[in-house]
Amino acid sequence: MTAGTTQRRPLLSMRQITKRFGAVEALVGVDLDVHAGEVVAMVGDNGAGKSTLAKVIAGVLQPEAGLIELGGEEVTVPTPAAAHALGISIVFQDLALCENLSVADNIFLGRERRVMRGGPMDRDGMELAARSILRDLTVNIPSVRTPVRELSAGQRQAVAIARTLTSEPRLLVLDEPTAALSVVQTAEVLTLVQRLRDLGLGVIIIGHNLADLRAVSDRIEVLRHGRNNGSFESATAHPEEIIAAIAGAGRVPEPRWSTAP
């Protein structure tokens, strides 16, 4: 490397993460780096450990061994609330939105703003803030007063993502955000992921559709049987190589950081 190289310190750095469920080795010595303004796609077969890793990041599960660094400092993530306080947000597959509540109510659900301590809810303030978040995301939702049941699947995904942004996170984990969406809705969500990247967030996206993940990610990390099984630059990697790594066929390239100084 030449002089003047900007050494980029990862936003999230996980080393040798191990998690067992009885005799099942869900994660074995897994490494993962995510930089600010970077989209990392996690791929792998069913049971490869993608969701387990996401749950470890989100504080839902505790690893038996391993090191987690956030912004260069070693941290523990004992609970989802702790993850939230550290600036880590996660959007699960089922979205967990309330059908009968409006877009704005859903975005501030459980974190309602109040006019004063113990006072009534600041509805106007929440609606304005919700509108501004959706505008930042360039999401096309006609009104923040619309009940969520009237929204399309793609719009719901956008509301679920908008909800995580109220706490101004640094890292966002999206679990299967385009599963069961039509092509136009997928296009909307993928455009949204690009927007999150532009906002400077680190994004981890878990999924199965390799074409979509290659389209929006900077890097693709393959997990197989709970182990790292290849790291690919999305801008140059061929799908065949990635599929081979998922299936366990062929040579496994070293993860990039193992060769870095």
Partner 1 sequence: MAGSQSALREANRAMVVETIRRYGGLTQVELAAATGLSAATVSNIVRELQGAGAVDVRTTIRSGRRAQLVTMARGTGLAVGVHIGVRQMSLTLADSAHEVLIEQSLPLPHEHRADTSLDRAALMVVDLLERVGSSLGELLGIGIGLPAPVDVATGTISVPGILRGWDDVPVAQVMSKRLGVPVFVDNDANLGALAESRLGASRPFQDSVYVRVAHGTGAGIVLAGQLHRGFAGTAGEIGHVQVDAAGDVCMCGSRGCLNTVTGGPALIETLRASRGPLTMADIIGLARRGDPGCRQVVGDAGALIGTVVAGLAIAVNPQCVVVGGELAETGETLLAPMREVIRRRVPLNHIAPLEVLKAELGTRAESLGAVLLVLESTDLLTHWFDDQTGS
Q: Is 254 in the site for partner 1 (CB under 8 A)?
A: no
169 CB contacts (<8 Å, ≥6 apart)?
Answer: 84, 87, 88, 89, 201
Residue from 26, 83, 158, 216 touching partner 1 (CB under 8 A): that is 216
Q: Smallest distance from the beta carbon of 65 to partner 1, in angstroms?
A: 30
Cβ nearer to partner 1, comparing 226 with 255: 255
Residue 110 sits at φ, ψ, to 5 deg, of 80, -10
Q: Which residue in the block uniquely carries the two structure tokens 């693709």?
A: 220
Cβ nearer to partner 1, comparing 17 with 213: 213
Q: Is 239 in the site for partner 1 (CB under 8 A)?
A: yes
Count of CB atoms within 10 A of residue 66's CB? 16
| Interatomic CA distance for residues 159 and 97, integer angstroms | 8
Residue 198 sits at φ, ψ, to 5 deg, of -65, -30
Cβ nearer to partner 1, comparing 180 with 183: 183
| Interatomic CA distance for residues 188 and 89, integer angstroms | 20
Which H or E run includes 157?
helix 153-165
| Subset of residues 126 to 185 that bind partner 1, contact rule: CB under 8 A | 182-184
Q: Which stretch binds partner 1 (CB under 8 A): 24-32, 64-72, 223-231, 234-242?
A: 234-242
Cβ nearer to partner 1, comparing 82 with 215: 215
Question: Three-state SS for 91?
Answer: strand
Q: Is 234 in the site for partner 1 (CB under 8 A)?
A: yes
Q: Is 233 in the site for partner 1 (CB under 8 A)?
A: yes
- Bin 39: left if φ > 0, else alpha if -120 < ψ < 50, else beta: beta
Give the contact letters, 62-91, x = binds to partner 1 (CB under 8 A), - = no: ------------------------------
Q: Which stretch binds partner 1 (CB under 8 A): 4-12, 83-91, 105-113, 129-137?
A: 4-12
Q: Which of 214, 203, 261, 259 is nearest to 238 (CA)?
A: 214
Q: Which residue in the block uniquely carries the two structure tokens 């997990």?
A: 223
Q: Smallest distance from the beta carbon of 238 to partner 1, in angstroms?
A: 7
Residue from 127, 175, 188, 221 touching partner 1 (CB under 8 A): that is 188
| Interatomic CA distance for residues 43 and 46, integer angstroms | 9
Please give the residue ranges that form the binding site for partner 1 (CB under 8 A): 1-2, 4-6, 8, 182-184, 186-188, 190-191, 194, 198, 210-212, 214-216, 218, 233-239
